Structure 1
């Protein structure tokens, strides 16, 4: 939210200063007044500088800097509601909820008519279950903003959360006086009356719509569905029968009847109802697809076997052989059934007829990724790029597949081509491309180019954790800029303190700095969090650290474990043979 338009409040301390000046000698007052004016101008300039610096840092994602600048602003003017809201928002995200609450309360105190500040305070109070505070805020806001309908709903919900259902209904009735009847209002009142076990009053809320629109099947269906939810199946059926008299082919009626048959354990009737609708000729294909999609949702909600929908798809394919949307939907259903081969076939049919739609290619990649079918990923992405040369995700997956196969030169070519041709959806995505290009250049021995790519990546996204990790690790291997490496690696473990790769990198940077005891702590943590997928590199690092801390025998054990895990280098073999680092 942008609060730049908010007017800064005058420092309350000036009032006290004014009273003091009133009893001072005239000449002293004049001298003091001049100094005070200069002081206020200087303070305002400082405030403006820090405030705009804070907003700029926030926009760039430099949140630590932003908080520091806002704290400077708060020190200069402790009555500025705008600054308090900014700080409150930061502390809320940092899960320091009590501190955030204090800032929001102060902001509302100094700018009590501000709608958005009050709503933010109410939201946090709701999160902290301060129910009376929430009621107080919405009640006060309604006096200031009686035309804002959302406040009546918020106040009603707050009363309901506090167990005061009648007051919740009264709040909605007040809104109804000015806006008239609406489905949303009546449905909310229906819910509240139901909670109060006033069933007749609840159903009267919906009946008034039926009385007003007797020929409209929507409200009859709604009433029937609500009776179904209330386990009054026979009453529900009565309303469904009324709809049949108006329009027996009404799509919503078919789905409601399916629900009814499902609930009354008449599954053959439910299946027959759907088959009749889907195989019949009285509905267009789009409506049939909507019915089928919703039916699939019902099957999932009830945890029923999705395979029973397959015959319905077969019927639709017979009726509409050229409708490729069916292939896309059926492919997704087969994926849910874990039929990867069948799903892949459906997506291939879809993309053949819709080569300019990325969705089909993306679904095929989703199938291939978990199985690490790199050849399939290369095949799909190569075909996708023939038709969609500006889509960055396909360059990324194609480059990553070559990367995994250690085809570094080809991977580099793909990522560079993507950077040149694709339309990047965000700075973060472009940053990832530069990061991959940096990694590949490092593997190919172009170390200075690699470090330059990392700098570009971090300029676009200073919080790109994989880039921060790799950049710091490769700097440590080169024994270059170790302080910078330590700072970058420190960001990664602060953001993801249980990531074994990041912990190992940080430990290794400390090792290269000569902080062996601290390095040992972090690398031991890395080993603890990577037990299920042990890393030979981490074991070798741990051995090196143990050697430096005087635990030679343990060090040799770790080196041997690294070799057992597949680490085979002249350097490691020499350490094991000579028993020295």
Structure 2
């Protein structure tokens, strides 16, 4: 006889099921997770779920060793992702013992994945039949019935489990869901009672029972349920408030008010009942008292900010629906802002309201307060930053961004605007250092356009510092992240033309920019200048004229270039006029001065 350890000789695998080798168990994995044991067994239910009484199938010792060996090997292959081999091995286990619940439960997973649900269901049903005391087999079978729309069988299975596994709450929760689906509200209440015995009386269970009784039109039991909840916890005013709210929301305002007064007698400062009273005054039409009560809640330091925020949202929504102005909303916000804020909820809501009304200026001091409360609040900081950028207040932008890159180093926007602000403030080295620091935080999720702008700005700075090779490398990186970055394309192309190198590449990049933005005079000027350097003077004049028409006549550089192009097209008098005009616009170039004096084009 061949030894069991000689696996390859004992059992040679055959590729029976095509496609299983690449199988990755998906959503069914969690559902079909069984607590399988390698030994072939039948289980008899004990009075408790654990431990279950197990009786081994009557296999000979030799067959039992074989079964255990192949089951463990199948489990190992499955864990390695070798699903085809695992499937065959589990089949081999069943050839040794067709009633082995452990292998039946395992192989059912394969059948479900292979879209053979009948076989999968048959296997797990047989597993439960042979090991009725295994909770996970039962849970899986019941869940499969539920998924397949076999509600009656699912209910029967879960009901059996509530008796068979009295310590488990999951079957009860599943039954509640199934009874709800079939609108069997009496059984829902019965299941909730069972759950309550196990977990104790809770607000969630009582409220659900209350809802069921209302659906059954048994109002007496409905209110008795909430009253019993309050009686269960007489020292917890929260449940008495719940009782009051239930009265109020179900047409019993007098009982609600009386209940709220009981709470106030015990806890005069109870914030929950103060909010409930506001709802009471609103629903009973006592609007003056409602507004007074709302004010007292909103200005009460003990009331949590999320409650205040909810009230303010309701008031804002109501004012928008009724078309009322902000004469009540804004003063209320201002009074709330006078007090100490525990978090940024109220200030953020206030800012959102002000922005919706177009009151940007008024929102700015609130935004500053938010940042003081929550320095890591990126939306508020970005909004504040946008105001500084609009005003070209780069010093203020620097103040906003400098702490931001320390607090939220992953936010690339702050590096970009800080570097840009440094650049505008002529702090070139600080700008370059900021951009370098920013690109260190680039990852797969980073906005590629922002990263491209980082490298584009670095290219500009390197060129300013006469580090030409580094500039070109930075532009190349910029275009890797965004091949359509017109700013990088334009500057890269222009600097190549100035050096009179790679002119074909420069022309191609520049042409791409004027196709994207045909009215951009800067891009038109660059393209015309590249054509000029390539001695395509007639074509250069066409694009230079277009650049002048699109606003280039306001740029001293574009006007000088126009003179150069005109000169090479034989229009020397017009060229001289443009050179003189460029000089008058403030162009201090010595080369331009010589052009005017000698009345001819002089290359730089």
TM-score normalised by structure 1 residue count: 0.53
Deviations 1:25-52 (A, max 9, x none): xxxxx9xx9xxx8xx97x9879846743
> Does the 8 Å CA contact 2:124/2:137 hold for their aligned counterparts?
yes
Question: SS state of the match for residue 445, structure 2?
Answer: helix
1:31-83 per-residue CA deviation (whole Å, 9 max, x = no partner) reads: xx9xxx8xx97x9879846743x5xxxxxxxxxxxxxx657755775768679
What residue in structure 1 maps to residue 369 of structure 2?
349
Q: Is the 8 A contact 1:437 1:450 kept in 2?
A: no
Which residue pairs with 1:161 in the alignment?
181
Partner Cα distance (1:80, 1:378) in 2: 73
* Residue in structure 1 matched with residue 444 of structure 2 by the alignment: 431
What is the Cα deviation at residue 227 of structure 1?
A: 1.8
Question: What is the aligned partner in structure 1 of residue 238 from structure 2?
Answer: 218
User: 1: distance between equivalents of 2:383 and 2:126?
Assistant: 52
Residue 227 to residue 128, structure 1, CA distance change in 2 (3 Å): farther
1:202 aligns with 2:222: yes
How far does residue 131 in structure 1 lie from its aligned partner after superposition? 4.2
Matches within 5 A, 1:460-539: none
* Aligned position for 1:251: 271
Relative to structure 1, the CA distance from residue 246 to residue 252 in structure 2 (aligned partners, 3 Å threshold; closer, same or farther) is: same
Distance 2:410 2:201 in 1: 49
Choose the corresponding residue for 1:292, options 305, 308, 312. Answer: 308
Distance in 1 between residues matched to 2:107 and 2:447, nearest whole Å: 36
Q: Supply the distance in 1 between the matched residues of 2:368 and 2:244 (Cα, whole angstroms).
A: 42
Q: Deviations over 1:320-371 (max 9, x none)?
A: 3xx25476522323314524443332121343x45xx434443232576799
Per the alignment, in what secondary structure is the counterpart of residue 389 of structure 1?
A: helix
The alignment covers a number of residue pairs equal to 415
Relative CO higher for 1 or 2, CA cutoff 8 Å, sep ≥ 6?
2
8 Å CA contact 1:81–1:106 kept in 2: the answer is no
**Alignment partner for residue 293 of structure 2, among 249, 273, 276?**
273
**Aligned pair in 2 of structure 1 residues 249, 417: CA closer, same or farther (>3 Å)?**
same
Judging changes above 3 Å, is the alpha-carbon distance between structure 1 residues 51 and 447 closer, same or farther for their aligned structure 2 residues?
Answer: farther
Asked if the contact 1:331/1:344 (under 8 Å) is kept, the reply is no
Unpaired stretches in structure 1, ≥5 consecutive residues: 12-21, 23-29, 55-68, 92-97, 423-428, 455-466, 475-536, 542-558
Distance in 2 (CA, whole Å) between partners of 1:366 and 1:258 is 35
CA distance in 2, matches of 1:159, 1:252: 34
Q: 2-side partners of 1:128 and 1:289: how far apart?
A: 46
Change in CA separation of 1:235 and 1:345 when aligned onto 2, cut-off 3 Å: same
2:554 corresponding residue in structure 1:
none
Tell me if 1:151 matches 2:168.
Answer: no
Aligned to 1:389: 406
SS at match of 1:358: coil
Is the contact between residue 344 and residue 364 of structure 1 (CA under 8 Å) also seen in structure 2?
Answer: no
Q: Secondary structure at the match of 1:287?
A: coil
Would you say the 8 A contact 1:9–1:80 is kept in 2?
no
Alignment pair present for 1:262 and 2:278: no
Instruction: Give the direction of change, closer, same or farther, for the CA distance of 1:218–1:399 in structure 2 (3 Å limit).
Output: same
Give 1:224 deviation, angstroms: 1.6
Output the CA distance in 2 between the equivalents of 1:364 and 1:184: 40
C-alpha distance in structure 2 between counterparts of 1:369 and 1:103, whole Å: 63
Judged with a 3 Å threshold, the aligned counterparts in structure 2 of structure 1 residues 118 and 436 are, in CA distance, closer, same or farther, namely farther
**Which structure is higher in helix share?**
1
Cα gap change, 1:72 to 1:235, in 2 (>3 Å): farther
Check whether the contact 2:111–2:119 (CA below 8 A) recurs between aligned residues: yes
- 1:186 aligned onto 2:206: yes
CA contact 1:369–1:377 (8 Å) conserved in 2: no
In the TM superposition, residue 183 of structure 1 has moved relative to its aligned partner by 2.6
* Post-superposition offset of 1:437: 9.1
Q: 1:128 to 1:109 in 2, by over 3 A?
A: closer
| Superposed displacement of residue 252, structure 1 | 1.3
Given that 2:347 and 2:366 are in contact with CA atoms closer than 8 Å, whether structure 1 keeps it comes out as yes
What is the Cα deviation at residue 261 of structure 1?
1.8
Aligned to 1:221, what secondary structure does the other structure show? helix
Higher-Rg member (1/2): 2
Q: CA deviation at 1:271?
A: 1.1
1:551 is matched with which residue? none
CA distance in 2, matches of 1:376, 1:246: 57
Shift of 1:249: 3.2
2: CA distance between counterparts of 1:133 and 1:396?
Answer: 57
Aligned partner of residue 272 in structure 1, secondary structure: helix
- Residue-by-residue CA offset, 1:249-277 (whole Å, 9 max, x unaligned): 32111111111122233332211012234
**In 2, Cα distance between equivalents of 1:224 and 1:5:** 47
Gaps of 5+ in 2: 1-28, 41-59, 92-102, 460-471, 486-507, 540-604
CA distance in 2, matches of 1:249, 1:187: 25
Counterparts of residues 318-337 of structure 1 (less than 5 Å)? 318=338, 320=339, 323-325=340-342, 329-337=346-354
| Deviation, structure 1 residue 194 | 1.1
Kindly indicate whether the alpha-carbon contact (under 8 Å) linking 2:297 and 2:308 is maintained by their aligned counterparts in 1.
no
Mapped to 1, the partners of 2:377 and 2:251 lie a distance apart of: 42
Q: CA shift at 1:123, angstroms? A: 7.1
Distance 1:263 1:176, change over 3 A: same
Check the 8 A contact 1:207/1:223 in 2, yes or no: yes
- Secondary structure of the 1:430 match is coil
Return the alpha-carbon distance in structure 1 between the equivalents of residues 253 and 448 of structure 2.
60
Shift in Å, 1:135: 3.0
Report the alpha carbon displacement of residue 149 of structure 1 after superposing the two structures with TM. Answer: 2.8
Q: Do the aligned partners of 1:165 and 1:192 also contact (CA within 8 Å) in 2?
A: yes
Confirm or deny: 8 A CA contact 1:441 1:449 kept in the other structure. no
8 Å CA contact 1:412–1:437 kept in 2: the answer is no
Alpha-carbon contact 2:351-2:363 (below 8 Å) kept: yes
How big is the shift at 1:162? 1.4
| Pair 561,289 (structure 1): closer, same or farther in 2 beyond 3 Å | closer
Shift of 1:205: 0.6
